Structure 1
């Protein structure tokens, strides 16, 4: 195996680890809450503690990768992911588990941007598109096999095995990386925006804590009100810091490009729905539909299969005709899929109450994902594509984080039939808003003459 092939395999494996852990957790949530207690609040924190540190640190991780070397940051991330996976697996209490998940998200943040940067640094510009295409295809597999694989582990052994199993791909990646040697720090790196990173973490942590815990303590309680105020204030200070610092973690100048700004605004609503919908669906299937973890994984698999089969085709069509139409219709079709699931009742029958909507959801997702990415990255200069991608990735994950934190406000104390209906309706509305933003905000790039003629 030559160096380029080894780098590509390493990049795929380390990203696969981070994505798989995010995809597999939903099916483990009911078993986890049953053993450790905590109900819906623990289930929210099990997902959000990971997304909180992952989303808030992913931009900082990109800066660390550029400054101190991609291989070094990946090794640190893998070691941290291994240790925190063990801590999650042996967690004796819900609090211990949530704290471990937060540290696991921090380790995961070091993996994804560093793996993409490693590809860009290793492959010639002419070969990067193909390499990144392979990276995307393989890492998408994490979302394909994650729910089913996780369900089997939960049903056959324990939810704890979901975390023990992480050690195998981590060991494989470290062995592969041994032949790649070590990279040296960049002596010309820009100053890292530590203050911006700290403000972002405090801002997100405070607001997410308030959203999750308001169901137990109420909005007027100091336990909720104080973190909310501190969080909102920190987010305001974060924006001010990014405006004035010479080397911002989040370059606000990127948002001067219309498609980048509008694309990320659409991302907030679209990916909030993409995170909240499957979260609610998986818990509902297990706790009120009577599904095992494995069957819940299978039941929520069709959208990912459709996305894998049709996603590249819609990407090609978006390249020919522009992303605007697909970014408009795609989210609305996903919303229609969730509206179709509103027929659920106490006598739950998956085949006609859920499956038609689930398939429609998959078609809409396939129509949305690639055009959305191309619209946003196409709006920034090629030299800034890395930070543009990192910003959009962070926006998507933070949107999902806040959406899941808000589920108790939307659904109430449990995801019964009424709670699921309210959540599905909220998801559909968010998707329609995302589609509307795309229609009014996105502008199709002008095609070059030869491309326009071929289209």
Structure 2
């Protein structure tokens, strides 16, 4: 077996392990959405209390992300991955055994800590295993779980609630993640720490960034103006601290001096706002304008995933032939075309039209996410990848929360003075405008 063939086989094995471990943690952020009323009823508590089953997981996930870069540099990617996956499995078992709303909320936090470590660790492990030549293929693997979660989570949650107890929404994670854990022990390469043994944790940075990120995401998700203001204040304080610190901060802001990384992350941030906002609007359009049920709403989102999988699986070949900038811009234009079609739809539009528009958006999405992220990593040294993965994950989560929050408000305001079809059409124009905004940094990518 040649060296190149061996490297290809190694990358395939690492990709399989990472995808299997990551997919359940991402699905778990949406699977409980359909069970809030059932959980409140069975555990004998109010909707306001049981909502913390969702919020606690989200906040723990957000607070844990910033420490991942330091942990990988200090202990190695394999050790962090195994620890995170073990935490997630333990949290899932405890959630399945929860006896009250309070215990379930606490155990969801344990799950969230594991999930928060997993995604940036996955991105780092794959980026380091792939190297510059195969970066697009690696980023496609990381992107697939995030694409499947909005579709599979609610559908899987609904099926489990219909046929089994709500406890199986958590217990179903155990066999899948246990298989990933066993495979990881056998197949993931042992990695040496990238930093010196005595490298210290940026404690002040952690105290500013982790709660700042969690509070801001909570504020954007409905926590109110005070939450947004406090979160922004803490993040601004972290930026000031990171720029003054002589040693490497918890998130190394010097990464943004590089043109490739800065422009790619600018694209991803703007694009995440628009795309996650659109994924909020599309199922609501099916229900509020077309009068469909939950099934119709899910089926209308499904073509986005189908189109994305189609192009994501070809990301490596596309980047090898055309680079990352041109196909990335093409993907943005495809998403913009699908959104443009949604701005012109009404209650009487044939179902084939929104299905086709969603599929076109998916084709574009499958190009944008892996290729733009591959462009972000192209000039980075190996020891800079953990910090770059953490910064990218933070901005994607902020963009996603901002998109969901902004479009919920836009739709609510427009819905007060316009009929539903017009309100949705104008909301899709907002999404189209933000997608177009992401073209500005995309045109400056190397």
- Give the 3 Å change call, closer, same or farther, for CA 304–189 of structure 1 in structure 2: farther
- 1:207 aligned partner: 216
1:39 CA displacement: 12
1:91 CA displacement: 7.3
- 2:74 aligned partner: 67
Q: Distance in 1 between matches of 2:170 and 2:192?
A: 32
Q: Distance in 1 between matches of 2:123 and 2:198?
A: 18
Q: Distance in 1 between matches of 2:382 and 2:192?
A: 24
1:400 CA displacement: 0.7
2:163 to 146, 157, 180: 157
1:175-194 correspondence runs (5 A): 175-177=182-184, 188=197, 190-194=199-203
Q: Distance in 2 between matches of 1:70 and 1:413?
A: 45
1:62 CA displacement: 2.7
Structure 1, gaps ≥5 residues long: 215-223, 445-455
- 1:32 aligned partner: 36
Q: Does 1:258 align with 2:262?
A: no
- Give the 3 Å change call, closer, same or farther, for CA 212–93 of structure 1 in structure 2: farther
Q: Distance in 2 between matches of 1:355 and 1:368?
A: 20
- 2:428 aligned partner: 424
- Give the 3 Å change call, closer, same or farther, for CA 256–181 of structure 1 in structure 2: closer
Structure 2, gaps ≥5 residues long: 1-5
Task: Tell me the alpha carbon deviations over residues 181-237 of structure 1, each in whole angstroms, 9 at most, x when there is no partner.
Answer: 9979956252122322231222223333333446xxxxxxxxx45433322221111
Q: Distance in 2 between matches of 1:160 and 1:319?
A: 45
1:15-94 correspondence runs (5 A): 15-22=22-29, 24-25=30-31, 29-32=33-36, 36=40, 50-86=57-93
1:274-285 correspondence runs (5 A): 274-285=275-286
2:176 to 169, 176, 185: 169
Contact preservation (8 Å) 1:190, 1:247:
no
- 1:147 aligned partner: 151
Q: What SS class does the counterpart of residue 110 from structure 1 fall into? A: helix
Contact preservation (8 Å) 2:70, 2:387:
no
Q: What SS class does the counterpart of residue 200 from structure 2 fall into? A: coil
- 1:342 aligned partner: 343
Q: Does 1:359 align with 2:363?
A: no
Q: What SS class does the counterpart of residue 169 from structure 2 fall into? A: helix
Q: Distance in 1 between matches of 2:60 and 2:425?
A: 30
Instruction: Give the TM-score, by structure 1 length.
Output: 0.76
Contact preservation (8 Å) 2:208, 2:238:
yes
Q: CA RMSD in A?
A: 4.3
Task: Tell me the alpha carbon deviations over residues 235-270 of structure 1, each in whole angstroms, 9 at most, x when there is no partner.
Answer: 111101211221212111111112321221221110
Instruction: Give the TM-score, by structure 2 length.
Output: 0.77
- Give the 3 Å change call, closer, same or farther, for CA 369–149 of structure 1 in structure 2: closer
